[in-house]
Amino acid sequence: MLVMSQRVLFMNSLTNKHISNSVALALAEDFGAGDVSAGLLLDKTIIANIISRESGIICGVEYAQSTFLSLDDKIKLDWKVKDGESISSEQVLCVLIGSSKSIISAERVALNFLQTLSSVATKTHYLVSKINHTNAQLLDTRKTIPGLRLAQKYAVKCGGGVNHRMGLYDCIMLKENHIIASGSITLAVKLAIKRHPNIPLIVEVEDLNQLQEVRTLSGVTRVLCDNFLISDLIQAVGMVKGKLLLEASGNINENTIVEVANTGVDFISIGSITKNIQAIDLSLRFV
């Protein structure tokens, strides 16, 4: 099944090396030739707390940990939470002990990872909770922040969502332009299966007529119903009768997701959970 194969791919991809590389790029961007503000401080051992200023789902602990230790491996971090856990306002998430200069230099990059990934996890969790009464699963998309795809898709999983394809390499997705260039859905599907018989295949359709055409073809893993009306989604579910997995996508938000899930579709993909995010409010304070 597509979802399971991508879970395995994802877990193999999110390695310590990937995290350390992401952290190194972020620190280089921020640190440059050195922190001139921290350089003004008298360096001493201090205690600091990372505190949440609002409720949510925490994510990004390993990224933040790697950020501090990359600058100074003598910093001691005592995390009070784990990725995927609920946090509340004014909760202490982590206690740090170490060099004041090192901690303050790493602060912003560490919090950027935590705030961004926690936002994705929190938004995902909120939407997943709205459709828990159905069998529909919430999918992410490729609409991610450049360089942070694996991190954001990890955050989606921490929020209870499911990963869509990771990139252009692990799944064929035939959309309108692929179909136009090929001449028809049938020709596009046959070419895809001939060239890549072992790669999962998703076909996007824009109306019930196109869905009917896909129904006659073999080898399709899932059909994405793009911008369908609710009435059309209901008809689509009836047409496939469980023989094809259906994904609903396009302009779905917190106000419409329940109605979409109630149609009986298997998946709902929403780009906004990784694209339109508002950082969770966190802060670091010396004690």
Residue-wise pLDDT tens digits, 98-135: 999 999 999 999 999 999 999 999 999 999 999 999 99
Q: Which of 185, 58, 67, 50 is nearest to 116 (CA)?
A: 58
232-261 confidence digits (pLDDT tens) = 999 999 999 989 999 999 999 999 999 999
pLDDT tens column, 160-210: 999 999 999 999 999 999 999 999 999 999 999 999 999 999 999 999 999
pLDDT surpasses 60 at 10: no
Specify the CATH superfamily of domain 2-127+278-286: Quinolinate phosphoribosyl transferase, N-terminal domain (3.90.1170.20)
Fold held by 129-275: TIM Barrel (3.20.20)
- 204, 222, 247, 266: which one is catalytic? 204
With beta carbons less than 8 A apart as the criterion, state whether 203 and 224 touch. Answer: yes
Counting residues of the chain whose pLDDT is more than 90, the rounded percentage is: 89
Annotated active-site residue in 142, 175, 215, 275 = 175
**195 catalytically annotated:** no
Whether 143 sits among the annotated catalytic residues: the reply is yes
Task: Report how far apart, in Å, the C-alpha atoms of 199 and of each of 170, 192, 221 are.
Answer: 7, 9, 9
Active site residue 247: no
- Count Cβ atoms below 10 Å from residue 111 Cβ, excluding itself: 21
C-beta contacts of 232-238 below 8 A and 24+ residues apart = 232/207, 232/208, 233/260, 233/263, 233/265, 234/263, 234/264, 235/208, 236/208, 236/211, 236/263, 236/265, 237/263, 237/264, 237/265
Q: Which of 108, 149, 190, 275 is catalytic?
A: 108
| Per-domain boundaries in the chain | 2-127+278-286, 129-275
What's residue 9's pLDDT? 47
Catalytic residue among 83, 107, 226, 247: 226
Tell me, yes or no, if 29 is annotated catalytic. no
Whether 1 shows a pLDDT value over 80: the answer reads no
Rounded to whole angstroms, the maximal C-alpha distance in the chain is: 73
| Phi, psi torsion values for 285, nearest 5 degrees | -130, 135
pLDDT of residue 242: 86
The verdict on whether 108 is a catalytic residue reads yes
Burial of 131 (0-12, 13-18, 19+ CB in 10 A): middle
Interval 28-78: pLDDT, tens = 999 888 899 988 888 999 999 999 999 999 999 999 999 999 999 999 999
Catalytic residue, candidates 143, 149, 190, 275: 143
pTM: 0.91
